[in-house]
Structure 1
Amino acid sequence: MDPVRIAVVGMGKIARDQHLPAIAGDTNFSLAATVSPHDQGVKGVPHLKSLDQLLAEGPAVDAVALCTPPQVRYDLATTALKRGVHVFLEKPPGATLAEVDALEARAKRVGASIFAAWHSRFAAGVAPARAWLADRHIHKVEIVWREDVRVWHPGQAWIWEPGGLGVFDPGINALSIATHILPRPFFLRSGVLERPENRSAPIAARLEFCDTAGAPISMDLDWRQTGPQSWDITIETDAGTCKLSRGGAVLTLPSGTEHSEDREYAGLYARFATLIRTGRSDIDTSPLKLVADAYLRARRDIVEPFHE
């Protein structure tokens, strides 16, 4: 089977740090082109300023990986799907739930695969944590996701705009793990969003969820963390404590701690190849629903301005 000819659209940090190396390491794909109006691309690979130009002038592609901000992703995905091109959506898959539903329906109509790529679900500790938790009784869950926005998103103004999610940009990674590994669905009871007075999106959030059996799930998000960063999910069960740390890369169970190599994006592209080969899509929106619910139900507090 010939490799899938893929174009990377949006050449920011995540594309260069994660997508390009993952594509280079997967024989199921060949990098056919890059697309960005602001970047010069990579040596030896055709580079175009827009997706419209790529689809009109070539080179031919079978798939696109959309690494742009979510606010513009719907139009790009629609353009690709109209040509029957398979679509890989960086997280979050869109700026709204309704547009993601529309993309899923369009992909089905044209027979293309579409993939909502929750990369943190492919962290090394996530699959074994899910297996261990499958038949456990959950007592309590604590999620602490604290990082320094100046380190991880320097100069990225779009992330503070409507649709950019603010602190939920990293926080949705934790929700993508929790919705994947916990044995029962959960939903929001209450919360507080802290929004800087000069920004449109929150810089911190404290949320209280519970699952359908009543187990409490707390979430602490903050983009003002300095020093050591925290990406931890601690789950107390009837068989002891399960903890995922370093964003899911490290799993600690009562039997001990497991450390594994970071293979998140390699796993994503392996999954995308399988979807294309089998003519299927994978576009779970459960993490985005929980973020939308936070905006619906949580109280909003205005806090001090944020400046880079």
Structure 2
Amino acid sequence: MQIALAGIGKIAIDQHVPALSASEDWELAATVSRSGTVDGVDAFDSLDAMLEACPEIRVVSLCLPPVPRFEYAAKALAAGRHVMLEKPPGATLSECAELERMARARGLSIYATWHSREAQQVAAAKAWLADKTLKSLHITWREDVRRWHPGQDWIFEPGGLGVFDPGINALSILTEILPDAIHLREAVLSFPDNRQAPIAATLGFRHPGNAAVSCDFDFRQEGEQTWEIEAICAEGTLRLTHGGAQMFVDGAPAGEALTGLAGEYPRLYAKMAQLVRNGRIDMDLSPMRHVADAFLLGRRETVAPFHF
């Protein structure tokens, strides 16, 4: 199937383009960007121009920041194209619900992707936890915004999510591996004095079995980056490290260990191909609901200004 990729930035070049190039399901037939291009692929500087010129392209994958994404997705759906959304799927829950309504009304597929759910050991962790008695679960997700989003001021603007841009990855794993639904009980959000989105956050959740479930997110980590989940159960302890790529049970490695985002985006595109072929929709918004709850419920504190 032919696909167009809109938003040719770092994540598109690093992950989307290689995944599409290696896929037997997809042909990258066009790009949409004001600045970025991919060698050998037709490039357009507007979505409208691409949609008009390329009626044969059935699918549009959107890698834009979340705030402008709704307008692009709505145009693609109105033009009869299936849509794949980079995480988070939109700037608000309401616009995501509207996109799903539009897709259903037109018989189109739409996919809210959560790439961290496709990390190497997430499925194994979900299977291990399925019959365990959870006592506590803690997420430590600390990374350096200067390394991963150099100069990208939009991430600290309204709708940019701040530290929840990576934190939502952790929440996507959490909502995938836990057999029970949880909801936010308390939060503290740390806003730099000169920014509109938090640079750090701590979250506490209510678990139906009274397990202590908590998160520690921070965008100021220097040196080694930390993306870990530890679940202590009556039957043993599970640790996911490297963003879900490596798993340990009672301290012993379990399964094949990978690093980085290996395999995540190829699996996302394989699933999108299945959704399109089967006429299905996947718009799970549970990670985004937890973020929205944190902004609603969280106590705000002001911290030192942040500059790239």
* AA aligned opposite 2:18: P
Structural mapping, 1:154-169, within 5 Å: 154-169=150-165
* AA aligned opposite 2:15: Q
What CA RMSD, in Å, does the superposition of the two structures yield over aligned residues?
Answer: 1.0
Q: Counterparts of 1:273 and 1:255 in 2: how far apart (Å)?
A: 37
Q: Counterparts of 1:228 and 1:272 in 2: how far apart (Å)?
A: 33
Q: Say yes or no: does 1:210 pair with 2:206.
A: yes
Kindly state the Cα deviation for residue 260 of structure 1 after the two structures are TM-superposed: 3.5
Q: Counterparts of 2:39 and 2:238 in 1: how far apart (Å)?
A: 45
2:78 to 68, 78, 82: 82
**Counterpart position of 2:238:** 242
Q: 1:186-217: per-residue Cα shift (whole Å, max 9, x none)?
A: 11111110000110000000111121222111
Identity of aligned residues (%): 52
Structural mapping, 1:36-75, within 5 Å: 36-39=33-36, 41-58=37-54, 60-75=56-71
| 160 and 268 in structure 1: CA distance in 2 versus 1, 3 angstrom threshold | same
Q: Counterparts of 2:6 and 2:289 in 1: how far apart (Å)?
A: 25
Kindly state the Cα deviation for residue 255 of structure 1 after the two structures are TM-superposed: 7.8
**Counterpart position of 1:288:** 288
Q: 1:148-188: per-residue Cα shift (whole Å, max 9, x none)?
A: 00001001111111111000000000000000001101111
Per the alignment, in what secondary structure is the counterpart of residue 205 of structure 1? strand
**Counterpart position of 2:14:** 17
Conservation of the 8 A alpha-carbon contact between 1:70 and 1:92: yes
* AA aligned opposite 2:108: A
* AA aligned opposite 2:101: A
Q: Counterparts of 2:153 and 2:147 in 1: how far apart (Å)?
A: 14
Conservation of the 8 A alpha-carbon contact between 1:232 and 1:245: yes
**Counterpart position of 1:96:** 92
* AA aligned opposite 1:235: A
Q: 1:87-142: per-residue Cα shift (whole Å, max 9, x none)?
A: 01000000000000000010001111000010000000100000111111110000
**Counterpart position of 1:275:** 275
Kindly state the Cα deviation for residue 256 of structure 1 after the two structures are TM-superposed: 2.8
Q: Counterparts of 1:292 and 1:206 in 2: how far apart (Å)?
A: 14
Q: Counterparts of 1:59 and 1:25 in 2: how far apart (Å)?
A: 24
Q: Say yes or no: does 1:5 pair with 2:2.
A: yes
Q: Counterparts of 2:110 and 2:53 in 1: how far apart (Å)?
A: 23
Kindly state the Cα deviation for residue 59 of structure 1 after the two structures are TM-superposed: 6.4
Per the alignment, in what secondary structure is the counterpart of residue 121 of structure 1? helix
Kindly state the Cα deviation for residue 60 of structure 1 after the two structures are TM-superposed: 2.9
Q: Counterparts of 1:31 and 1:189 in 2: how far apart (Å)?
A: 44
Q: Counterparts of 2:274 and 2:133 in 1: how far apart (Å)?
A: 33
Q: Counterparts of 2:55 and 2:223 in 1: how far apart (Å)?
A: 46
* AA aligned opposite 1:209: F
* AA aligned opposite 2:33: S
* AA aligned opposite 1:302: T
Q: Say yes or no: does 1:196 pair with 2:196.
A: no
Conservation of the 8 A alpha-carbon contact between 1:32 and 1:60: no
Q: Say yes or no: does 1:34 pair with 2:50.
A: no
* AA aligned opposite 1:5: Q
**Counterpart position of 1:137:** 133
TM-score by length of 2: 0.97
Q: Say yes or no: does 1:220 pair with 2:216.
A: yes
Conservation of the 8 A alpha-carbon contact between 1:193 and 1:301: yes
Per the alignment, in what secondary structure is the counterpart of residue 144 of structure 1? strand
Q: Counterparts of 2:39 and 2:166 in 1: how far apart (Å)?
A: 31
* AA aligned opposite 2:126: R
